[in-house]
Structures are given as structure tokens and as C-alpha cells.
Amino acid sequence: MKQIAILGSTGSIGRQALQVIDDFPDFIRPVALAAGSNRELLLEQAKKYRPLLISIQKKEDALWLRAELAGQRETKIYYGREGMLAVATCHAASMVLTAVSGAAGLEPTLAAIRARKDIALANKESLVAAGALVTSQARRRGVKILPVDSEHSAVWQCLNGEDPGDVARVILTASGGPFRCMKREEMIGVTPAMALQHPNWKMGPKITVDSATLMNKGLEVIEARWLFDLPYDKIKVIIHPQSIIHSMVEFNDGAVMAQLGVPDMRLPIQYALLYPRRLEGSVTGLQWPIDALTFEEPDVEKFPLLALAFEAGRTGGTMPAVLNAANEVAVKAFLTGEIAFMDIPQIVEQVMQSHRPREYDSLEEVLEADRWARRRAKELCTRG
């Protein structure tokens, strides 16, 4: 029985992870759950799974949960930053699924690593903002980082049993999002409702907008650099609209290994949580024969955030943290109607141009760059 803690249990990945756990109740048990603001769903989860502890963002929601769970004495209730860290370091958990969105996942991920918990990583921003810090601390403590993103899970599976020195390059696939066939001038009128209509995947709003701008793929490029210890010249992005091939690895001899599957996040979640077991779950497999699989180069003029992510990654130091923070602010402003869709890359680029990157040795240095970038991005969003 593997006991896990889930950071972000009421979000898209967290909910799907609990569906996977429902398929394998004899193998996995959730012992700690952390949520943001969805107290009703967290209450439902607490009653169903009876974890040792739960946490929610606001104090008033924690008090409400205490009243609702008064008869469930085995479940302790926390809130805020301390609560998130309590879930991340829960003594009973051997693994922590980090499924919170954005840079907010960095501190609890590092806390879980310090507590020697293996990490099932669905929070790519942790590696984007502080990849050197996260991976060095994981190595020092013998902690495994198991990727949950479908693309990185695919690469991980393709590399299983292979010599890393034989890798010529990693090829990350991207669907291209809902505006792949749209002309640049047509994208000026894109609304939040349009951007949230992903053609293949069901995800949270932030990652869905990132997929529409191709920033999500840019963040995954930086994540792949740290997960697989690869230079950026060995990471390529290719558009694959069907989202059947989740990524590929090309080897020195010219052979290419690909991982295929239906576009369902429960598959990479299950692989990470049950590794190395492969058990039959509730996800329907591919239906054969498969229709045509097509590929095309990404249009970085139409989607400049992908190129900016490569630039930030190659620059290194605090620049990826700044890229990520500026994007988070810009996406939020777009979703609330404060800026236009095409303003997102412009704001990110302007924040990057204003930043003087430096190397970092501590979490505080990364967070300082993150805070600076957020302030600068908010100024630009306010100007419109």
C-alpha cells in the first residue's frame, strides 16, 4: 500500500488522481489533501478518504470544515501556507503529488523533498523557476522525481532501460491548441471563452490558456532540461494535432521511440503513482486502426512565447522564474478581461527585457525574482 499526499486535490490533476486511486484502492491510499478554495469538494474528499490531515487556503474555510467534520476525529485540519507545508511533509506519506498550479507549488515541493518524500510532479513551474535547486536537493536526499505531465511521462517511458548517453534528442509533441490554424491577425479578437476550448485535453484554466499560446510547451521544454539533464539543443518541439503520440526520443543510431495513448491525464498519473507496475484501470485504450497522425513545425512568429521560453532557459539563472511569473500574471489578467490575448507574449517579453538575470543559491533568491516579475507584469497589465 503506497500512501500519498496530494497538493491540489480539488484541481483538475488532483481530481483525476483520486479517480486513479479509486481504481486501485488496494495499492494507493491518500493520507493528506491540500486544496485552494473549493471547500465543498474538499469536504466531500475528506469524508470519502478519511485522510490524516487536510488543508485549505483560508482560515474561515478551515473553521467551516472543522464544524462539518466534527465527528471525524482522525482528520486534522490546517490552513494557509503552514497547512500546505504540513500536507507536503505528512509523516505517513511516502510520495507527494504536487498538482497545484503555478509557482505556488515550489515551496511545498522543496519541503517534501527535504522530508525525503518522492515527488510525482505535475507542477512544472517548480522546475521552471528553480530547476537547479529542486534537482540538486532531490539528488542530495535520494528523492525520486517522477513526471506526471503526459509529455515527460512519455519521455521517461521511452528512456526506461536505455543509456542516457545514447540520446540524440527528445521530441516533445504539442497539439497546437485551438488557434493552430488561425491567422495571426484573426487572433486579435480571441476571448477567454475561446482560449479555454482545448481541442483534445480537459485541464484547468491557466494551463489551457498556456496551451493556446504554446507557453505550456515552452515551460515543458525547461522542465525537460532538468528532468532528463539535457542541453536545450537536444530538445525539440513538434506540433502533433491528434495528441496520440505524447512524445518521442531519438537515439544516436537514428531510431526513434514513441509513446502512444489516448489523451487522458489519468494514464501518466497512474504510471507515476503505481510505478513500476502497469495495471489495468478504467481508461479506455486506443482504438485501432488509428486515423492519420500528422506533424508540423511550430509557428514561433504566431506563438512567440515558445521562443521566449527557449531564450529564458538558455539564459538561465533567474530568467526562467521571471518568464513564468510574468506569464502567470498576464494569463490571469487575460482571463479577467484586463488585457487582450495577444498582449500576453508582449508583456512577458517586456518583463524579460527589463530583468537582469543572476544565478541563485536559495529559494528566497528565486522568490525575490518571482515577486519582482509579478510587480512589473502587473504594471504593464494596468497600462493595458
Say whether pTM exceeds 0.85. Answer: yes
Q: Answer whether 349's CB lies under 8 Å from 308's CB.
A: yes
Average predicted confidence (pLDDT) for the chain: 95
Query: What confidence tens digit (pLDDT) does each residue in 190-239 have?
Result: 999 999 988 777 778 898 999 999 999 999 999 999 999 999 999 999 99
Tell me the three cell numbers of residue 333: 489578467
Q: Which domain holds residue 72?
A: 2-147
Q: Which pLDDT band, with edges at 50, 70 and 90, does 384 fall under?
A: low
3-state secondary structure of 137: helix
Residue 365 exposed, middle or buried by CB count within 10 Å (0-12, 13-18, 19+): middle
Total domains in the chain come to: 1
CA distances from 368 to 198, 219, 319, 360 (A): 33, 20, 12, 10
| Cis peptide bond upstream of 147, omega within 30 | no
Answer whether residue 312 is part of any domain. no
Residue 320 φ/ψ, nearest 5 degrees: -60, -35
In a domain, 141, yes or no: yes
- How is residue 178 annotated by DSSP? T
Residue bearing cell 498519473: 269
CATH of the domain at 33: 3.40.50.720
122 occurs within a structural domain: yes
Asked if residue 60 belongs to a domain, the reply is yes
Do the domain assignments include residue 162?
no
> Which class for 203: exposed (0-12), middle (13-18), buried (19 or more C-beta within 10 A)?
buried
Q: Is residue 17 part of a domain?
A: yes
Dump pLDDT digits (tens) for 246-287: 999 999 999 999 999 999 999 999 999 999 999 999 999 999
Answer yes or no: is 341 within a domain: no
pLDDT in tens, 28-51: 999 999 999 999 999 999 999 999
Residue 346 lies in a domain: no
As given in the structure block, the three cell numbers for residue 357 are 538575470
DSSP for 305-322 reads: HHHHHHHHHHH-TTHHHH
pLDDT tens digits, one per residue of 139-171:
999 999 999 999 999 999 999 999 999 999 999
What percent of the chain is predicted at pLDDT more than 70? Answer: 100
